[in-house]
A = this chain, B = another copy of it.
Amino acid sequence: MKWDALEEEPCSLARTVAVIGDRWSLMILRECFLRKRRFEAFQSSLGITRHLLAERLKKLVRFGVLRRIPYMESPKRYEYILTQKGLDLYPIIMSIVHWGNVHMVDSRGKPLLHEHKSCGKMFDPLMICSECGEPLNAKQVHTHPGPGARQETLPAKAPAKPKASRTAV
């Protein structure tokens, strides 16, 4: 697949995957949320090749997830910080971490615990419906084409059959 093809798809998942859907981007973002900001810091804690790191950072900046700001003049040195768009990735990162906590831990338990400053407790993230507040699960969700759905290239033979899809994503 060409990467660019993903961006063009009328699918919010595909478009997001075009931005963060590779191992290294997700690992770099983990480091960003852990307050790492500099090239050397990313490189040494991830073990990513310098070549790829430079490439991925460029991509994340290009997509507006990170901002590259100078922290030292002469020699020019830059660090990478999350933009609001980047900070908004937090639920993705947290749901990934949570799934790993549930399904990929060994007998010792979670590698990392999360404390919610607001309430002071160790927590897990929980995904709920914005409308009724109930926890979400795939089987309780229907999807419908939205305004940005793919343009139906009306086939001559098959007439439009606008039925709600019985699906979840």
Q: Which residues of A contact B (CB under 8 A)?
A: 1, 3, 5-7, 10-19, 21-24, 26-27, 30, 33-35, 47-48, 64, 82, 85, 87-106, 108-119, 121-132, 134, 136-150, 164-169
CB-defined contacts of A110 to chain B, threshold 8 Å: 12, 146-148
- Are A131's CB and B119's CB within 8 A? yes
- Are B131's CB and A128's CB within 8 A? no
- Quick one: given A119-B129, A142-B117, are A99 and B88 in contact (CB under 8 Å)? yes
- Are A21's CB and B11's CB within 8 A? no
Task: Specify the chain B residue showing the minimal Cβ separation from A3.
Answer: B23
CB-defined contacts of A100 to chain B, threshold 8 Å: 11-16
- Quick one: given A13-B93, A115-B143, A169-B97, are A138 and B27 in contact (CB under 8 Å)? no
Return the contact of A23 from the options B17, B92, B99, B118 (Cβ within 8 A): B17
- Quick one: given A13-B30, A141-B117, are A95 and B104 in contact (CB under 8 Å)? no
Question: What's the least CB distance linking A4 to chain B, in Å?
Answer: 12
Complex CA–CA separation, A167 to B111 (angstroms): 14
Complex CA–CA separation, A131 to B144 (angstroms): 33
- Quick one: given A104-B15, A146-B112, are A23 and B10 in contact (CB under 8 Å)? no
